[in-house]
Chains A and B, each alone.
Chain A
Amino acid sequence: MLGGKLNRGDANRRSRPYCFRRCKLSSSTNIESLPDDLLFQILLEVPAQDIQKGARLVCKKWHRIICNRRFVDEHLHHSTPGIIVDIRRHSSPAVFAATGRGRVEISKFNFVFRDRAPASCNGLIVEDNYISNPATNKRFDLPAYSPKLGRGICYAIAYAEVSKQYKVVLMHCSKYNEPLEILKCAILTAGVDKSWRHLHMKNLSIGAPVTTDGFVHWPRSDDTHVFTLNVETEIFTEAPVPKVCVQRPKYYMSTGKSLSLLVLCGGYSFEVWEMKSETGEWTKLFKIDLEPLKGRFGHLVHKFCLTHIRLIGWLNYPEVLALRISASQLCVIYNVRTQEIDYFEVYYLSGYHNYGVHRNSLVWLSGC
């Protein structure tokens, strides 16, 4: 028993990834008899929709493990981001595609988007004056903006970590397509505020918003600056885009944590830059090459060039990019490091879809 005793002492001294427990093993071990912390680990691997429809209803113990903040938060961090395809036809449900177990898995939401590209954050989507979680089918109506605004409203949603609240930014734009001419900008804390608070944003011409942890960013359409809103403090800042990147084709995308900028630097190569949200400081990081896509999808069009590649966003920064091939209905999940390519097609009659990065989660608003 000497070894056994030493082993227990050992466990107390060292940090262990999983809770150490002594459990009597018998020949009739089953899932039911596992300790709660191990069941917790297993349930983290179950997709949000299956938790919602199945696991949480199984028994009281499972419900207790699942329905609390710690599980929901860990489940979110465990989830795999995917591509949400908003089919621009009434009554066509949105499609969600993510790689799981080495292949692309496609699911349909019991959910129809009604507006332009929906804003997504931690599994929550805001559009058309409500917040929803398409994986759990929960919905929360936002208060109406007063006085009533006309068409051209778009939203962004971001998580303020210190106050543990989701904040929604409303933008009323004079134009429906980019660049957006912002007429009004307002913010509210979801589930808390009963009305919108006006934000002073200069009458600016900007591109579509990009959300990172705790921040919303808008590239100015003159290509020189990025406008950043800290949703915690509700203070705007403005940071210049690196001079060498100005007037070059570029994409702004969220890495989750921060804003990344992909700047074309000849051929199919992009320089990847990253901005610190707090300081507006840019760092050039590495180059990625999309040339292998040409070999793979070049046959789809007469003369394949970069304009056929449209970047959607990072699925797993700094490795996995989501993009689409504009001459086709192909959505591509591309690992820029291993150059591995996965793809799927979205067959619908109408030609115009919106694409975005989304993750399925159990997240919901506190107090709702």
Chain B
Amino acid sequence: MAAETGTPTTLTLKSNDDELFSVAESAAILSVTIRNMVEDGCAGGVIPLDNVDGKTLASVITYMNGISAIPADEEKKKSYRDKFLSDKDFETLADMVLAANYLNMSCLMDAVSAKIAQVMEKKSVGWVRRKFGIENDYTPEEEAAVKEEHKWTFEGVETDDDN
């Protein structure tokens, strides 16, 4: 168990590419994975995070420090999250989803998911495929069949005039 003294405890996290990071325990325990390790007394030395690379871990630690510095004000936290994610590209966001999942940080997970989802709003199928580098594995016949599955039954329907 971490020493229960008045001074803030610092943890050392190690990324999968062997970068070391110091972070205040109070910020790091936003990650349930890290919190569990601290509670189980496994956080004495260096905490290896096998699934997070240095670049992503640096970013996540920036987030941990930023969000834990904000007192219990959901609005302010939300605007911090928005600002934090505003300049991230898709690759970084995808890395963050994996990291947030591995570290079990639901608030970051939800925010990043929402951010990725947001870019899909009101966009064409082709745009989503291009932006995310997804190959269209439908044959033209299959794609037509999927479209047909949920036909736009209302298009062109006339209103009735018997009232």
Contact B154 A55 (CB under 8 A): no
Contact A30 B133 (CB under 8 A): yes
Contact B95 A21 (CB under 8 A): no
A residues 29-54 in Cβ contact with B at 8 Å? 29-34, 38, 41-47, 50, 52-54
B9 lies within 8 A of chain A by Cβ = no
A residues 5-20 in Cβ contact with B at 8 Å? 6-7, 10-11, 14, 16-20
Given the interface pairs A23-B51, A25-B53, A29-B98, the reply to whether A58 lies near B129 with Cβ below 8 Å is yes
Contact B154 A90 (CB under 8 A): no
A112 lies within 8 A of chain B by Cβ = yes
Residue of A nearest to B17 (CB): A25
Interface string of B120-163 (1 = CB under 8 A from A): 11111100110011111110000100110011111100011101
In this complex, how many residues of chain B approach chain A with their Cβ under 8 Å: the count is 62
Contact A137 B152 (CB under 8 A): yes
Given the interface pairs A17-B104, A25-B16, the reply to whether A42 lies near B117 with Cβ below 8 Å is yes
Docked pose: A102 CA to B82 CA in angstroms: 11
State which of B42, B78, B146 has its C-beta within 8 Å of the C-beta of A3.
Answer: B42
Docked pose: A102 CA to B83 CA in angstroms: 14
A136 lies within 8 A of chain B by Cβ = yes
State which of A54, A102, A114, A132 has its C-beta within 8 Å of the C-beta of B120.
Answer: A54
Residue of B nearest to A19 (CB): B101
B116 lies within 8 A of chain A by Cβ = yes
A111 lies within 8 A of chain B by Cβ = yes
* A114 to B: closest C-beta gap in Å: 6
Contact B52 A25 (CB under 8 A): yes
Number of A-B contacts defined by CB within 8 Å = 159
Contact B78 A102 (CB under 8 A): yes
**For chain A, which range describes its interface: under 10, 10 to 19, 20 to 34, or 35 or more residues?**
35 or more
B37 lies within 8 A of chain A by Cβ = yes
Docked pose: A366 CA to B29 CA in angstroms: 44
A349 lies within 8 A of chain B by Cβ = no
Contact A30 B40 (CB under 8 A): no
Residue of A nearest to B163 (CB): A114
B67 lies within 8 A of chain A by Cβ = no
**Which residues of the partner chain B approach A137 to less than 8 Å between Cβ atoms?**
150-155
* A332 to B: closest C-beta gap in Å: 19
**Which residues of the partner chain A approach B47 to less than 8 Å between Cβ atoms?**
3
B36 lies within 8 A of chain A by Cβ = yes
Contact A54 B125 (CB under 8 A): yes
State which of A1, A17, A57 has its C-beta within 8 Å of the C-beta of B106.
Answer: A17
Contact B36 A52 (CB under 8 A): no
B70 lies within 8 A of chain A by Cβ = no
Contact B154 A46 (CB under 8 A): no
Docked pose: A322 CA to B97 CA in angstroms: 34
Contact B98 A25 (CB under 8 A): yes
Residue of A nearest to B42 (CB): A6
State which of B16, B95, B134, B154 has its C-beta within 8 Å of the C-beta of A58.
Answer: B134
Docked pose: A34 CA to B153 CA in angstroms: 34
Contact A47 B121 (CB under 8 A): yes
Contact A3 B48 (CB under 8 A): yes
**Which residues of the partner chain A approach B117 to less than 8 Å between Cβ atoms?**
42-46
Residue of A nearest to B121 (CB): A50
Contact A138 B91 (CB under 8 A): no
Contact B152 A56 (CB under 8 A): no
Docked pose: A55 CA to B82 CA in angstroms: 23
Residue of B nearest to A8 (CB): B50
Contact B91 A28 (CB under 8 A): yes
Residue of B nearest to A109 (CB): B154
Docked pose: A202 CA to B52 CA in angstroms: 66
A303 lies within 8 A of chain B by Cβ = no
Known: A7-B33, A90-B159. 4 other contacts (CB 8 A): A1-B48, A3-B48, A18-B104, A112-B159
Contact A50 B36 (CB under 8 A): no
* B40 to A: closest C-beta gap in Å: 7
Interface string of A278-320 (1 = CB under 8 A from B): 0000000000000000000000000000000000000000000
A59 lies within 8 A of chain B by Cβ = yes
Contact B53 A58 (CB under 8 A): no
**Which residues of the partner chain B approach A50 to less than 8 Å between Cβ atoms?**
120-123
State which of B98, B143, B146, B152 has its C-beta within 8 Å of the C-beta of A23.
Answer: B98
B118 lies within 8 A of chain A by Cβ = yes
B30 lies within 8 A of chain A by Cβ = no
A326 lies within 8 A of chain B by Cβ = no
Contact A57 B98 (CB under 8 A): no
Contact A16 B42 (CB under 8 A): no
B46 lies within 8 A of chain A by Cβ = yes
* Max count, chain B CB within 10 A of own CB: residue among A4, A19, A21, A54: A54
Interface string of A176-201 (1 = CB under 8 A from B): 00000000000000000000000000
